[in-house]
Amino acid sequence: MGCVPAELALRSRNGDCDVELERAASLYNPQLIEMVKVLNKEIGADVFIAANAHLMQMDFVTNPGAFGFVTSKVACCGQGPYNGVGLCTPLSNLCQNRDLYAFWDPFHPSEKASRIIVQQILTGSNEYMHPMNLSTVLAMD
């Protein structure tokens, strides 16, 4: 949350993620996993799964080059610092190749980044998915 171009434009002077928003995001997922554990225990089966999309996104935010991105700080389409101000409109700055950007607009991952997140939801480890990934759930069905 604190690393999207909109928050960088609003809160950052040097391109660093907002510490408070990142802390809030880091508190959410462990609580979600605990809630899913409780619900699954009450039902008696692993019916619910939790996806840590924040952690998935942080992989390419902290190391964009490993995923083929040139940046995770600047949006492909936007205005102002980090292209993080306003909506993507005909007046916005637009990158030449959206596959090189982790973020499409000030808030949303690019199509390529979204594919990475979906792949983790389908086949990711327990680091990202709890208690199992979606492929495992579908194989059981």
Q: Quick one: which of 96, 79, 100 has its CA closest to 88?
A: 79
Q: How much is the pLDDT for 1?
A: 87
The model carries a pTM of: 0.91
- CA dist 28 and 52 (Å) reads 9
Task: Give me the helices (H) in 1-141, please.
Answer: 5-11, 19-43, 53-62, 111-123, 134-140
- In this structure, the number of other CB atoms found within 10 A of the CB of residue 95 comes to 18
Cα torsion 87, 21, 134, 129 to 10°: value is 160
DSSP 23-43: HHHHHHHHHHHHHHHHHHHHH
| Mean pLDDT (10-residue bins), the chain, 141 residues | 96 93 92 96 95 94 97 97 95 96 97 96 96 93 67
Q: How much is the pLDDT for 48?
A: 95
Domain regions of the chain by residue span? 5-140
CB contact set of 2 (below 8 Å; sequence gap of 6+): 11, 17, 18, 19, 20, 21, 22, 25
Q: How much is the pLDDT for 140?
A: 85
CB of 57 closer than 8 Å to CB of 69: no
Q: How much is the pLDDT for 141?
A: 67
